[in-house]
Amino acid sequence: MNNLLYLYIIGGTLVGVTCLYLLKQYINGGVCKIRKDMTGKVILITGGNAGIGAEAAKKLGEMGADIIIGCRDLYKAQQILDQIKSQSRANQKLVMLKLDLTDLRDIDTFVQQFKALNIKHIDILINNAGIMAPKEYKISKQGFELQFGTNHIGHFYLTQKLLPFLRNSQNPRLVNVSSLAHKSSDGFDLNDLDCKRFSNSSLWSTRYTMKAYSYSKLCNILHAMEFSKKYGIPAYSLHPGVVRTELFNEIYGGWRKIIYFLIYPFWWFFTKSPEQGAQTTLYLSLEDQENLQPGGYYKDCSQATPLFANEQLATQLWDKSIQMLREKQFDISQQ
């Protein structure tokens, strides 16, 4: 009887461990298995100093691509470039430039510094940087709600300023890192993209900050859709998964760190590492363009269907973004 009980326990344990292993593999998501010689390709990635941006930069750099990282923390960016350099070819360009997407003037400075590098084209622009869920309603340098101003307006303006370099490439592409959070964008209002109607709410830190984040991530999807249609340059957006990165610092600040410590084993199990989170970015950077849908939204290295996104809304957001920039004296309508 005891032997039979032991067999049941061992068998049940093996089944349980196998199920947990398979579930974890499913959570870890798709894997980009494409490897290419990227020598001569120029890849500019925002926020390539940490998280999934850093992992994408390392993998693409290891394949021989010239890597330009735009970010605020140049110390961390240098560490990433040093890792790439240890396995790089002799004439590979590895450059970091300061970029603050919360300030459009700083983006102008970044573009001027990029021009000074005498690089004639950009093959892949990866709009990866972002912020999520500040506990207080904050605004960017030009007065946009911080998440909208960084995640959408900053990248929208940067992309337009770099458009001539994309056009100089034989096979350019744009990759926007969005999020599954866009599916919480019910109530998306083109006349209140700054979420000012929530700015004084006592529920901002617990509810509306994530609502503003979801709106900015929907904008990333709509931007890719309209960019592809407008310029004929393939653009894609993606959900990287729920990834253990610095993006969650705001959420797990203060007393929440205690809860984070207590639930970390569960958090680890149900989330991805930065390397795993970078897989769809790599897929959209490396897959042959004929196998991808221009303006498409992807997750786990496969095309998916976004919520709330349609061509009419994409066009309306584009026009609204141009108008908002023009009101701040940043006119890019002729590009």
Catalytic residues: 213
CATH number, position 134: 3.40.50.720
Rounded to 10 degrees, the C-alpha dihedral 133/139/143/149 comes to -30
Residue 289 lies in a domain: yes
Q: How many domains does the chain have?
A: 1
| DSSP category for residue 186 | T
**Cβ-based neighbours of 186, under 8 Å, separated by 6 or more:** 308
Which structural domain range is residue 115 located in? 31-327
Cα separations in angstroms, 56 against 274, 283, 311 = 9, 10, 29
Residue 20 lies in a domain: no
pLDDT in tens, the chain (335 residues): 567 777 767 777 788 788 877 876 777 888 999 999 999 999 999 999 999 999 999 999 999 999 999 999 999 999 999 999 887 776 789 999 999 999 999 999 999 999 999 999 999 999 999 999 898 999 999 999 999 999 999 999 999 999 999 999 999 999 999 999 999 999 899 999 999 999 888 888 778 999 999 999 999 999 999 999 999 999 999 999 888 777 655 555 555 566 656 766 766 676 788 899 999 999 999 999 999 999 999 999 999 999 999 999 999 999 999 999 999 999 785 56
- Supply the pTM of this predicted model: 0.92
Query: In which residue are the tokens 């897929």 written?
Result: 283
Strand residues in 77-216 grouped as ranges (E): 94-98, 124-127, 173-177
Residue 72 lies in a domain: yes
Nearest Cα residue to 303 out of 311, 295, 312:
295
Residue 138 lies in a domain: yes
Helix, strand, coil shares of the chain, percent, nearest 5, are 50, 10, 35
Residue 12 lies in a domain: no
| DSSP category for residue 207 | I
Residue 237 lies in a domain: yes
Residue 265 lies in a domain: yes
Residue 248 lies in a domain: yes
